Structure formats: structure tokens, C-alpha cells
Amino acid sequence: MTAYVIAEAEHLNTPEVIAYRELAQAAVLQYGGRYLARGAMPVALEGDWPEVNRMVVMEFPSLERARSWYSSPEYAEARATRSDLSGRRILLVPGLDETGA
């Protein structure tokens, strides 16, 4: 079953964020993930959305691969470059199975 990782955070372009992006991208690819949206500014069709928060949407071949990526030493290295992770949210969303359920 495909799995999606959705991350939301304030958009920054500091040296540590740039280093994080490079390391995180390498880890995502290593664990079979791919970016569907990266740094996108969402458009709120209902409800409020903070104007500074950007979205990243990644697809992984399975929940297991997404969890392996998140707990991997490679992604831990990326996270270690950031000092501003407290305001971020990351969700793991299971995709539909082959029957559409």
C-alpha cells in the first residue's frame, strides 16, 4: 500500500535549511520516496492556513518504507542540521489499497 508523508513548516531559506533539504532529499530517494510537491504554498479552499507555511508531499511505496525513511540514520542526519523543528508538522497517511478501500 502506498504511503504519503505530508510536512508543513514555515518557509525559510537559511544555510541550515538548505543543508537539511539536500540531506533530506537524498534520504527520501534512498528509501524509495519521491516528492509530489516541495515547498508549495497551499491554497486554502476551506478554513485558515498560515501565510508563511509551505507544504511538502512525498510518496513512498509502502508504510514500512516511509517509516524506515523517517527513523533512518540518513534522515536523522538531515534533522540534526535544523534548530527550528519545533513548529513543524509531519503526517504519515496510508494510501488506498488496490481495491480502493
Average pLDDT of the residues in 94-101: 75
SS3 for 12-75 is: CCCHHHHHHHHHHHHHHHHCCCEEEEEEECCCCCCCCCCCCEEEEEEEECCHHHHHHHHCCHHH
Q: What is the pLDDT of residues 32-46, one digit of tens each?
A: 999 999 988 888 899
Q: Considering the domain boundaries, does residue 101 fall inside one?
A: no
Among the residue ranges 5-14, 33-42, 80-89, the one predicted with the least confidence is: 80-89
Residue 28 lies in a domain: yes
Q: What's the number of domains the chain is made of?
A: 1
Whether residue 77 is contained in a domain is answered as yes
Q: What is the CATH number of the domain that holds 38?
A: 3.30.70.100
Q: Residue 88 belongs to what domain range? A: 3-94
Q: Would you say residue 40 lies in a domain?
A: yes
Task: Please say if the pLDDT value at position 75 is more than 80.
Answer: yes
